């Protein structure tokens, strides 16, 4: 589920924003994944994301929960 956050004139956000949001690039680096892989997870809506300004952000807990679910990225296939 993706949400877009628009700040209001009073400084409050229009939708509730989780406290610990991380940019996709930083989240991928923190967990040792390629940025493209994490972006693919977000695009296929396997993990929840938020659009904050020009940035697409995720919670590391959501990424960890997805990994803990038993899915690991495929390693390079050699011919």
Angle between helices 24-31 and 60-68 (to 10 degrees): 40
3-state helix, strand, coil in the chain (%, to 5): 35, 25, 45
- Phi–psi pair at 47, nearest 5 degrees: -130, 150
Rounded distance between C-alpha atoms, residue 78 and residue 45, angstroms: 29
- Both tokens of 18, joined, read 């989780």
pLDDT tens for each residue of 7-58: 555 555 555 667 789 999 999 999 999 999 999 999 999 999 998 888 899 9
Average pLDDT over residues 69-74: 69
- The pLDDT of residue 35: 94
Q: What is the pLDDT of residue 54?
A: 87
Task: Please state whether beta strands 49-52 and 55-59 pair in parallel, antiparallel, or not at all (unpaired).
Answer: antiparallel
């Amino acid at each position: 589920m993706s949400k877009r956050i628009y700040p209001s004139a009073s400084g409050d956000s229009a939708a509730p924003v989780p406290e610990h949001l991380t940019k996709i690039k930083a989240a991928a680096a923190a967990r040792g994944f390629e940025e493209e892989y994490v972006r693919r997870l977000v695009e296929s809506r396997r993990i929840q994301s938020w659009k904050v300004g020009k940035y697409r952000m995720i919670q590391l807990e959501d990424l960890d929960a997805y990994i803990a679910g038993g899915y690991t990225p495929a390693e390079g296939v050699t011919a």
